[in-house]
């Protein structure tokens, strides 16, 4: 039995914090991938 996941599930405050953290991480990942796509597109174009 995983005690850390049980502790997280028992406290709603930690749960909402983790949900916000997850949403923030996903948003940052999307921005990063978008930035990478822009850079790749700029490199792909001839001068």
pLDDT recorded at residue 8: 47
In this predicted model, what pLDDT tens digit does every residue of 12-23 receive, in sequence order? Answer: 788 899 999 999
Note the pLDDT tens digit of each residue in 26-47.
999 999 999 999 999 999 987 6
For residues 23 and 43, give the distance between their C-alpha atoms in angstroms, rounded to a whole number.
Answer: 30
Report if pTM > 0.75: no
CA atoms of 5 and 29, how far apart (whole Å): 24
Domain limits of the chain?
Answer: 21-47
- Rounded CA-CA distance 12/16 in Å is 6
């Amino acid at each position: 039995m995983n005690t850390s996941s049980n502790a997280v599930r028992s406290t709603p405050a930690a749960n909402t914090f983790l949900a916000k953290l997850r949403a923030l991480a996903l948003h940052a990942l999307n921005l990063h991938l978008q930035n990478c796509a822009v850079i790749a597109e700029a490199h792909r174009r001839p001068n």
